[in-house]
Chains A and B, each alone.
Chain A
């Protein structure tokens, strides 16, 4: 009986403990506000941050594994309007559109009506059909970062954007700043009179390395040569995108050499290049008179047995490719102008070049050029002899040996710029570029380029007859 009473007491005490414990009033909550209050507060916080600043400088890399980035200046008002200007095109005034701050699963900034940022997702961009630069208009707000900057994520590409607050004086001057960034872009792009070659050089702890930048100006994207283990320089890093700013350029991801990372490059007017310095080490991006790295493509091109020693250029039927430089187009136009003034009036039609040393027509190599009479459309052929192609340091050399037909002799003086191109005294740099593509056609034939080292603004994109 005593044991039974003891058991009841134990049960009683246990039950009381459970009762007391289960009814403990948990007032300690993780958050002071309800989820709805927190969402509203987060939305209000971002709205206030956007509207509090006179404006922002924004560098947006939509997808730095395929494209470069673009510079924006933006100013937000309390009525849901945003003014922005960017260097994506030549628009030289602010555009006004609408924005919203939304709170769904996260706090987002959404550009709801068209403005320059939407040009990055223009799926009709020439050369980027279907995707544009894969830009977006929904950005998730992450945090307030260094210097009161606002850090956002691009939800679909997993990129990030930083909105750097700027004063009214900067916004007032933004049109000029954007113009300066465009000017910096033009300093790296090839032009009618400037080289098609760009290089990336490092000077780190006394060690030097140079790479061909292999820069695509449309995508603003660099895929440097020499990043493989076979590189004579031994360095390696990934491809990267470039955004041009008023000061110079920014690369993303950062480039590194010898453990040193370089991200922001400033334009050096004296040297005409973009320079980044970190602890006395430098990285330089700029134009060059010759490639920083020449591939072994010339071996396949000159291989007479299964290679590509015969190539052609037919702009009217095969279309244009951006690899044919404005410098070469200027050469072509010059020859056209010369021929137009020749008795009868002519124009260049197309050409093919044979480096297979077949002794055709008595030439070791020859240029077969077609030209058209303007009055009746009649097409004529002219043959020009060149010496056998030789190679020194991966560069192809040929000498012009004279006209091989009466037609050739008749137009020789007028087409001399083209003959000089192939007879470049400093040689020709040749590349293979995969299957042929242009604005008109796509062929499975191998394609490639030839660039004159006498005048590195002249590069022509050709189709190899294989």
Chain B
């Protein structure tokens, strides 16, 4: 009995001795308030974040880009015009042809904007990058020339290319696309000119790197040209076999858009061209 009393006493001591009152929970020391938004921030919030859940990173952070590259932030005055290209000639055509929710449902979650070119030591220039279908980085937005449709088409082409990857990750292309002409795919694609690649049945030199890039390069080329311009490009190929191969790939792309998403790519092509043309000063 005495032992039990002792144990009870000990237990009480254990419980009560550590029962000192803890400090009351204090408010968070993290600043979670909404920062002051500039006019540019408000524009991004209204046009990209709210409707499409797309973040735009324009304030420079070296950690957002490859560590081995030497890049510079965009000028603030370059940001809105570059974003307007995306709104007008990428989002609006898809919304018009495929429905207002199309981009809302399938889209990259972030755009990072870089002012400078991304020049490689070899002298080639990287125009854009995509990471896992979630983030697209656009380079040299400080150098866009709004009097030149080709210059306006440059970031568009990057986005159409990277968006092609995202679409492909959502609804894969027919696997037989890979078998159309795999013979000349090469990691050394940069040793070819676009014209040389076309004579081998690839729409650009980069398209001859592998079948995935081949597929999205076709999309990018089709959606940044009119149908007549694209036809002229293909008809300019001397090798009839190469010409036929690219026409076959074009059929695959058109079928893919129609069957996977109910989109007539030629209608999308026409609207995209009208919109991008409207951006030329």
Contact = CB atoms under 8 A, between A and B. Distances in A.
Contacts of B69: 123
Nearest to A25: B20
B29 A112 contact: no
A15 B76 contact: no
Contacts of B18: 22-23
Give the interface size class of chain B: 35 or more
A37 B62 contact: no
A138 B73 CA distance: 12
Nearest to A118: B72
Interface stretch (A128-136, A285-293, A375-383, A421-429): A128-136
Nearest to B26: A34
Nearest to B14: A19
Contacts of A122: 70, 72, 116
Interface string B103-134: 00000000000011111111100000000000
B281 interface: no
A136 B119 contact: no
Given A118-B73, A123-B70, A130 B119 contact: yes
B61 interface: yes
Contact of B29 (A34, A118, A129): A34
Contact of B71 (A8, A22, A100, A123): A123
Given A23-B17, A131-B70, A12 B62 contact: no
B187 interface: no
Contacts of B62: 136-138, 156
A37 B74 CA distance: 32
Given A19-B14, A19-B17, A12 B6 contact: yes
B123 A129 contact: yes
A121 B59 contact: no
A22 B14 CA distance: 10
A241 B46 CA distance: 49
Interface residues of A, number: 35
Contacts of B189: none
Given A110-B60, A113-B73, A36 B29 contact: yes
A130 B117 CA distance: 9
Interface string B205-248: 00000000000000000000000000000000000000000000
B3 interface: yes
A12 B11 CA distance: 12
A391 interface: no
Contact of A19 (B13, B30, B71, B74): B13
A112 B59 contact: yes
B96 to A, nearest CB: 35
Contact of A123 (B6, B14, B119): B119
A104 to B, nearest CB: 8
B142 A121 contact: no
Contacts of B61: 110, 138
A114 interface: yes
Nearest to B31: A40
B14 to A, nearest CB: 6
B87 interface: no
Contacts of B8: none
Nearest to A130: B121
B75 interface: yes
Contacts of A114: 72-75, 115, 142
Interface in A5-25: 8, 12, 15-16, 19-20, 22-23, 25
Interface in B69-103: 69-76
Contacts of A37: 29
A374 B120 CA distance: 40
Given A19-B14, A19-B17, A114-B72, A137 B60 contact: yes
A124 interface: yes
Nearest to B122: A130
B180 interface: no
A113 B76 contact: yes
Contacts of B17: 19-20, 23
B4 to A, nearest CB: 12
Given A36-B30, A110-B60, A112-B60, A121 B70 contact: yes
23 contacts: A8-B6, A15-B10, A19-B10, A19-B14, A36-B30, A37-B29, A98-B76, A110-B61, A111-B73, A112-B73, A113-B60, A113-B75, A114-B72, A114-B74, A121-B116, A123-B69, A124-B116, A129-B119, A130-B121, A131-B70, A134-B70, A136-B62, A138-B62
Given A118-B116, A121-B72, 17 more contacts: A12-B6, A20-B17, A40-B31, A110-B60, A112-B59, A112-B73, A118-B73, A121-B71, A121-B116, A122-B116, A123-B116, A123-B117, A130-B119, A130-B120, A136-B70, A137-B62, A138-B61
